[in-house]
Structures are given as structure tokens and as C-alpha cells.
């Protein structure tokens, strides 16, 4: 072998040995993800190149979210691209589509088709259609083929062909705001009865001892009767009605709490109109029609109420929480005249008397003192539903309830 040929052979062999030797066992398949997708790491997560090689000097933190635009399959394993030539293994992440956005949708009148989403886009998942006019909360939004998709469950989506975002009526800023979830009791459910307390539980105790309920208040006479009763039953003679005394009188434990905790069921939702809220308020008031007037009472239609108690429960049904006025607060010492608190609440603006309409609150003053002492709910310009001694009734606004102080509006 000549010296020249020998050098060429050795150089060629060296070049061959220096060439890359990694040969892909399987072909690499990549595909574009057909929408915005987010992968979230389950723990501290390794990164790989498009050749499936581990990147030694870089990892991603746990519970971090990354936009991905491409899915890669290499040697049977799926990866998601999060940067140029940086991929996460599918087993290390969870994937979600679209962007975070919350709200409520209402299904159109023909019902709604259920979709799911994978890396190729949206597809009908075969689940039962959603009922017409039903409401659903969504937490993510995506777009595809000109349609908006709303995620309402675990990979369950509805599109804008079958649903619209629910935009219900809301009062302006500064007014009492409308709530679209059930209002909860405000105050101590299961309160004891003592001097000065009023309301339904006091009404029942006074009746138990044979006292008149012309004015339902826990007074010295009631306290004396309670002490005597407690002594006879071997109970601490405190003169205060607690649960043990209540049950010894023959009343149930459940009634002790239920009377206090009643809040009218919400009769409106996220797509209710102003008119819907007004009608919900009036419908709740009508449930008390014919019930007795009870001072300081604002419980369920099973019992009587007074004027402001009637208004309070009517407001609850329409999505209005007038706190600090509440059904429980009304029965506590010194809160009989909640009509005065409602009158002074600037979140219900006073309006011109000539502009009064259905759903407004009309207030009256005591002719002898000039103080607010009565409130009713207008059914029309000249008629109201009210609780006035001694029953809940429908009456003319010009009916000897005192002097008309003015009209306030609940719904703008």
C-alpha cells in the first residue's frame, strides 16, 4: 500500500467514526394542536429535545402552566412542545384547551350538543343533549371554526350555536346589588328568648302561656311565667327560653332552628330581567296573604310577619339582601322598626311620588310623631300588599296607614 493511499484510508476511517451515530428507531411524527392549549406540570418536570434526548441542565417547576402548540410522537411516547426544541413528556403533564374565563351560559330553545376536545379539535362525544333554557357555569373558553366553545365540566363543552352567555339584570353601582345564589341567614340561628326579643318564637311562647299577641314582645310577665315553668320542670329558673325550655313546652328542636333560619328561596337567576325580580318579590309577599301580623317576625309563610318582615322575605326571593336588615336581626331587641332602617338605606333611592310603580316600596309616618312606622310593596300606583294589624292584606295606599313619607325603588 502506497503511503498516499494509506493516509487517505486512515482519514476516511476517522471521519466515519466521528459522524453522528444516533439513528431514530422510529420516525418522529409531529402535529399542530388545533387550538390554544396549556400543559400543566404535575411535579418538577424534565425537558426533552425533538430527538427524545433528555436536556441535562433545565427542568420546569411543579404546577406551572405552559402554552403548547405542537404534539410530537417519538418511539411510542407523546410529547408537547413548550419552546423551540423543548418538549415535555405527556405523562408528566395535564393538558387543557382554550383560556381561563368564567361565566354562565343559557342553552338555546332547541337544546345543546355536548362536545369534547382532544389535540385534533372538538368532536361530538355522544352524551345526551343539554336541556333547553338550562343554565351552566363555564370556566374555560376556546374558539374553533368561527364558534366559541364553553367548558362546563371535565372535558365537556358547548358551543355558541347552542348557547349564549347569560347577561341578566343588575342594579347600578350604589344600589342594593342582585345576588344570583341563595341568600343565607344573617345572624345567630337558634337564639334564646329574653326581655325585649320579638318574633315568631316569642309569639308561640306568649300563646303557650295564654298572653295576647297584640304586641308580640318578651316582657316581664312572660319571663315570670317562664321562670315558674322552669322551676316546675326542674330546669334552671332563668326566665330565659333556651332550647331545653322550648322542648319542654312541647315544641320541636327543629322548629327552634328552622324559624330562625328561613330565607325565602331564590326565585330568580342569572338571566332574569328587572320585571322577573319584581314579580319574584311580589309572589313571595303573596305567600303570606291572610297570615297574622306579628311584630318583629320575618320567618316562613307558615307564620305571620309584620310590615318590614314581609318586605325582607320578599326581597330575599328576588335576590336582594338588605343587610344589616335581616330576618333574624328583626326579632332582636330594639329592631322592631326595621321600616326605619329601610327608609334610611340610600342603596334604595327615593323617587318622585308621581313616578311610583309596581315593585316600589311605599313608606308611612306616625301622624303623632312624624317617625317612619310602616312600609308596603306597591302592586300598582294605588294598591299595595302589606302586613298591618292584624293580617297580611292587599289594600289601597290611601287607607289610613299614616302620612305617606315617600316611595323608594329597589330595582332601577
* Per-residue pLDDT tens over the stretch 273-297: 999 999 999 999 999 999 999 999 9
Mind giving me the DSSP string for 305-351?
Answer: B-HHHHHHHHHHHTTB--TTS-HHHHHSTT-TTHHHHHHH-TTS-EE
Domain that holds residue 88: 29-97
Which CATH number do you get for residue 298?
3.90.1720.10
Q: What is d(CA 384, CA 214) in angstroms, rounded to the nearest whole number?
A: 23
Structural domain ending residue among the three candidates 48, 80, 97: 97
Provide the mean pLDDT of the chain: 92
Taking residues 108-122, report their average pLDDT. 93
**Does residue 187 lie in a domain region?**
no
Return the top range by mean pLDDT from 17-21, 106-110, 130-134, 238-242.
238-242
Q: What is the pLDDT of residue 9?
A: 32
Among 297, 406, 308, 283, residue whose Cα is nearest residue 351: 406
- Are residue 120 and residue 66 in the same domain, yes or no? no
Q: What is d(CA 238, CA 242) in angstroms, rounded to the nearest whole number?
A: 10
- Are residue 255 and residue 291 in the same domain, yes or no? no
Asked if the model's pLDDT at residue 168 lies above 50, the reply is yes
- Are residue 209 and residue 320 in the same domain, yes or no? no
**Does residue 12 lie in a domain region?**
no
Paired with 338 in beta bridges are none
- Are residue 307 and residue 399 in the same domain, yes or no? yes
- Considering its fold, how many domains does the chain have in total? 4
- Are residue 284 and residue 295 in the same domain, yes or no? yes
- Are residue 291 and residue 354 in the same domain, yes or no? yes
**Does residue 353 lie in a domain region?**
yes
- Are residue 278 and residue 402 in the same domain, yes or no? yes
Q: Which residue has the cell 300588599?
A: 385
**Per residue in 361-392, pLDDT tens?**
999 999 999 999 999 999 999 999 999 999 99
pLDDT band at residue 26, thresholds of 50, 70 and 90? Answer: low
- Are residue 404 and residue 279 in the same domain, yes or no? yes
pTM exceeds cut of 0.75: no
**Does residue 78 lie in a domain region?**
yes
- Are residue 372 and residue 324 in the same domain, yes or no? yes
- Are residue 357 and residue 254 in the same domain, yes or no? no
Asked if the model's pLDDT at residue 163 lies above 90, the reply is yes
- Are residue 302 and residue 388 in the same domain, yes or no? yes
**Does residue 172 lie in a domain region?**
no
Q: What is d(CA 148, CA 150) in angstroms, rounded to the nearest whole number?
A: 7
**Does residue 192 lie in a domain region?**
no
- Comparing 116 with 120, the larger pLDDT belongs to 116
* Sign of the dihedral through C-alpha 312, 281, 286, 363: positive
Q: What is the pLDDT of residue 18?
A: 33
Q: What is the pLDDT of residue 27?
A: 62
Residue 108 CB burial class (10 angstroms; 0-12, 13-18, ≥19):
middle
Q: What is the pLDDT of residue 299?
A: 99
Amino acid at each position: 500500500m502506497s503511503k498516499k493511499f494509506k493516509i487517505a484510508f486512515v482519514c476516511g476511517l476517522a471521519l466515519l467514526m466521528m459522524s453522528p451515530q444516533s439513528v431514530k428507531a422510529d420516525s418522529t411524527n409531529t402535529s399542530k394542536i388545533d387550538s390554544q392549549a396549556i400543559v400543566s406540570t404535575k411535579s418538577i418536570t424534565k425537558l426533552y429535545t425533538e430527538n427524545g434526548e433528555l436536556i441535562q441542565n433545565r427542568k420546569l417547576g411543579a404546577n406551572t402552566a405552559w402554552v403548547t402548540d405542537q404534539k410530537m410522537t417519538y418511539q411510542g411516547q407523546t410529547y408537547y412542545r413548550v419552546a423551540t426544541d423543548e418538549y415535555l413528556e405527556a405523562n408528566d403533564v395535564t393538558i387543557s384547551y382554550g383560556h381561563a374565563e368564567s361565566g354562565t351560559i343559557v342553552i338555546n330553545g332547541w337544546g345543546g350538543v355536548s362536545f369534547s376536545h382532544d389535540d385534533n379539535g372538538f368532536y361530538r362525544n355522544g352524551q345526551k343533549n343539554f336541556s333547553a333554557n338550562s343554565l351552566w357555569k363555564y370556566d374555560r373558553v376556546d374558539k374553533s371554526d368561527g364558534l366559541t366553545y364553553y367548558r362546563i365540566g371535565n372535558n365537556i363543552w358547548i358551543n355558541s350555536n347552542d348557547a349564549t352567555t347569560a347577561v341578566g339584570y343588575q342594579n347600578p353601582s350604589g344600589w342594593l346589588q342582585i345576588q344570583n345564589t341563595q341568600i343565607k341567614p344573617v345572624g345567630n340561628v337558634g337564639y334564646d328568648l329574653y326581655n325585649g326579643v320579638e318574633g315568631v318564637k316569642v309569639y308561640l311562647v306568649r300563646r303557650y302561656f295564654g298572653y295576647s299577641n297584640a304586641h308580640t314582645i318578651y316582657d316581664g310577665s312572660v319571663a315570670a311565667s317562664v321562670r315558674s315553668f322552669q322551676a316546675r320542670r326542674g330546669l334552671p329558673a332563668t326566665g330565659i327560653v333556651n332550647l331545653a325550655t322550648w322542648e319542654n313546652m312541647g315544641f320541636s328542636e327543629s322548629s327552634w332552628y328552622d324559624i330562625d333560619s328561613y330565607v325565602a328561596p331564590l326565585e330568580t337567576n342569572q338571566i332574569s330581567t328587572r320585571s322577573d325580580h319584581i314579580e319574584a318579590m311580589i309572589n313571595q309577599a303573596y305567600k303570606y296573604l291572610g297570615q297574622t301580623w306579628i311584630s318583629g317576625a320575618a320567618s316562613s309563610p307558615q307564620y305571620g310577619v309584620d310590615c318590614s318582615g314581609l318586605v325582607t322575605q320578599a326581597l330575599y326571593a328576588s335576590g336582594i339582601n338588605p343587610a344589616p336588615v335581616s330576618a333574624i336581626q328583626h326579632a332582636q331587641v330594639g329592631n322592631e322598626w326595621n321600616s326605619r332602617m329601610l327608609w334610611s338605606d340610600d342603596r334604595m333611592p327615593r323617587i318622585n311620588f308621581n313616578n311610583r310603580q309596581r315593585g316600589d316600596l311605599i313608606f308611612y309616618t306616625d301622624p303623632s310623631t312624624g317617625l317612619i312606622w310602616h312600609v308596603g310593596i306597591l302592586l300598582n300606583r294605588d294598591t299595595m300588599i302589606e302586613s298591618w294589624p292584624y293580617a297580611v292584606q292587599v289594600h289601597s295606599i290611601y287607607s289610613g296607614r299614616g302620612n305617606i313619607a315617600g316611595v323608594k325603588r329597589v330595582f332601577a
